[in-house]
Amino acid sequence: MDIKPETSKIKDRTGVIDLIAEDKNSGEVVLVMNEPNEWVGSDEQLLALQERFNAYVSFLLDGEMAESHPELAGKPARIEMRCVHMPDARALELLALIHDQLAFQEIKLEVVVSNDELRMPNAEGMTNDKCRNQ
């Protein structure tokens, strides 16, 4: 699955799912969340991130995905957050908490940072999934 990130011009992207795809290699449904902004560690930015994840999880668990994409219903799910910049410490802490909560729902979380050459191995409590850079 090699899809280039697209950034939305909508300022409030809380309810926007950037991309829905099926990873043919893993069989997972992949919901892509693009994060083009630099991480500033503000409460506002972290709250917006949490609200976006809530919308993605709700889409998966409340039947909306099964209704709009019945061919993907029942498949394992992964949320892939694609960042242009490496998340700061506060964002990584929040992502670790989100990762752990998603694991209870059997939803994987993968964070991809596109402009950094270094690999970030399972950082900040992300124990079961990848946190990688491309």
Q: Per-residue pLDDT tens for 27-69?
A: 999 999 999 999 998 999 999 999 999 999 999 999 999 999 9
Q: Output the pTM of the full model.
A: 0.78
Domain assignment present for residue 7? The answer is no
Domain assignment present for residue 6? The answer is no
Domain assignment present for residue 85? The answer is yes
Domain assignment present for residue 120? The answer is yes
Domain assignment present for residue 35? The answer is yes
For residue 75, what are the domain limits? 19-133
For the chain, how many structural domains are there in total? 1
Domain assignment present for residue 23? The answer is yes
Domain assignment present for residue 54? The answer is yes
Long-range CB contacts (within 8 A, 24+) of 93-101: 93/124, 94/46, 94/49, 94/50, 95/124, 95/126, 95/131, 96/124, 96/125, 96/126, 97/125, 98/50, 98/53, 99/125, 99/126, 99/128, 99/129, 100/125
